[in-house]
Amino acid sequence: MRFSIRSAVPILSVLTIAGAAGQLTVFSRLQKDFESSQSLCHWYVCDDATVVTYAYDQQLKGDHPSLSTAIRLLQDTLVRDPASALRWADLGDALADAGSIDKARLCFDRAVSLGYTSARILISAGDFYLRYGDRSRGIGYLTRTLTLTSERNESVFSYFTARNTSVDEVLANGFPAEPRTAQAYLRHLMTESTPSDARKGWKWMVAQHLVDEALAGDYVNFLVRQNLYPEAADAWASAAGERGEGYRASQFVYNGSFEQAPVATAFDWNILPVSHVAVARDSKAHSGQFSLHLRFDGTENTDFAHVFQKTVLRPGRYRFQAYVRSADLTTDQGVYFRIADAEDPRRLSVETDQTRGTTDWHMITATFVATPATRLVLVRIQRRPAWKFDNQIKGDVWIDQVSLTPLG
């Protein structure tokens, strides 16, 4: 049975008045009698959103009759709306599933020409070309998406992974050399990929001058988590450049004079929050403009170990030194530095003298030998809890010009 125009008119009224109920009616008719229901669409009576939903359902079934139905439905929507980039992409996707790759390619080309600023269209076209032979073009569409919006970053990166797109391919095919996108990609590689892939992304970013301190800190911490300590330290030294003042050449403590605000990385000062102790950079310095100031409020027998940094040493003999000043620092347990093997303190552990009471700037030192077994060293400012009755520490300590240098 076929519907006449007369029978279509009351149905149009139902759709206009009933809204969603009318859409359900059309969807039901599409399921029961595709040929008859098509006559409604030819008269522009049906809702294309409902038709497309049904087409998607048929496409998901994946068998030849269902794919043929999906393709016919999507072709009809394009008769009614030939300027829809999304409908062209939908048709291209259905044709690709049916094995009509050449026809699908024409559809995706048309979709991109109509929707070149649409992230959704570019992702769909990019995935098609990654699957069907033109990987360079596919990567190009996906990376263009990254320049349009940051909201689709993870979607694009997941397509790279799903389609076995190597880092070399991504970087060689027009990946945008701008900080926001490139940094997001490297952070993705650090989370989802291997150290080898992350290393490629890092080297490309260094060559493109896209690395800032925050990203360098994240990358260094990533390498430390992989136990790649020398590589991590070298990466931090490279990123620091002139700010490092000979770091890893003649000096193995970074930012020892606190002239720069610490970055949250293994190889700069980590300052963890702790109750009853205020820690901040201060303008009272032994040299330069800044020192590190610790203020104990006198209400706690503080076990303090909340300021530290890591370093990588070559085997040999070393001298540690720092300048310290104190004011009214109470209790028998003062502030000192401990230098220890970060993995096993039994291999290396040495402490400086403690600072107590009130003192002018003075040097504290320690010498030690690092053996090949020590891969990572922890330099930490500490104060042990006191055992005496009067044990609540109060007072101020300033620290400046911390250094760790090889001897001989």
Q: Which of 292, 259, 270 is nearest to 221 (CA)?
A: 270
- Predicted pLDDT of residue 29: 54
In terms of C-beta density within 10 A (0-12 exposed, 13-18 middle, 19 or more buried), how is residue 274 classed?
middle
pLDDT at 46: 61
Buried/exposed 359-371: b ≥16 CB within 10 Å, e otherwise: eebeebebebebe
Neighbours of 98 (CB within 10 A): 18
Instruction: Name the CATH superfamily, with its identifier, for domain 270-406.
Output: Galactose-binding domain-like (2.60.120.260)
pLDDT at position 56 is 87
Residue 27 near residue 50 (C-beta atoms within 8 A): yes
**Helices 5-18 and 34-42: crossing angle, nearest 10°?**
80
Measured distance CA(119)–CA(148) in Å, rounded: 7
Q: Are 394 and 297 in contact (CB under 8 A)?
A: yes
Amino acid 280: pLDDT: 97
Q: Which two structure tokens, joined as six digits, stand for 2?
A: 């076929």
* Distance from the first to the final alpha carbon of the chain: 100
pLDDT given for residue 39 in this prediction: 58
pLDDT tens digit sequence for 351-360: 999 999 999 9
pLDDT at 17: 37
Q: What is the pLDDT of residue 139?
A: 95
Sheet holding 336-341, edge to edge: 270-271, 304-311, 377-383, 336-341, 349-351
The residues pairing with 378 across neighbouring beta strands, listed in sequence order, are 310, 340
pLDDT number for residue 94: 94
What is the Cα–Cα distance from 292 to 334, expressed in whole angstroms?
Answer: 16
Please compute, for residue 230, the number of CA atoms within 13 A of its CA located in the half-sphere on the CB side: 6
pLDDT at 245: 83
What count of Cα atoms within 13 Å lies in the side-chain half-sphere of residue 94? 29
Question: In three state form, how does the secondary structure of the chain look?
Answer: CCCCHHHHHHHHHHHHHHCHHHHHHHHHHHHHCHHHHHHHHHCCCCCHHHHHHHHHHHHHHCCHHHHHHHHHHHHHHHHHCCCCHHHHHHHHHHHHHCCCHHHHHHHHHHHHHHCCCCHHHHHHHHHHHHHCCCHHHHHHHHHHHHHHCCCCHHHHHHHHHHCCCCHHHHHHCCCCCCHHHHHHHHHHHHHHCCHHHHHHHHHHHHHCCCCCHHHHHHHHHHHHHCCCHHHHHHHHHHHHHHHHCCECCCECCCCCCCCCCCCCCCCCCEECCCCCEEEEEECCCCCCCCEEEEEEECCCCCCEEEEEEEECCCCEEEEEEEEEEEEEECCCCCEEEEEEECCCCCCCEEECCCECEEEEEEEEEEEEEECCCCCCEEEEEEECCCCCCCCCCEEEEEEEEEEEEECC
Distance CA 313, CA 252 (A): 7
- Give CA–CA dist 311/341, Å, rounded: 10
CA 337 to CA 383: how far, in whole Å? 9
User: Which residue ranges make up each domain of the chain?
Assistant: 270-406
Q: What pLDDT is stored for residue 1 in this prediction?
A: 34
Low-confidence ranges of the chain (pLDDT < 50): 1-20, 22-23, 33-34
Strands 316-329, 336-341: pairing kind: unpaired
Closest CA to 52 of 1, 88, 97: 88
Q: Calculate the CA dihedral of residues 94, 95, 99, 100 and round it to 10 degrees.
A: 180
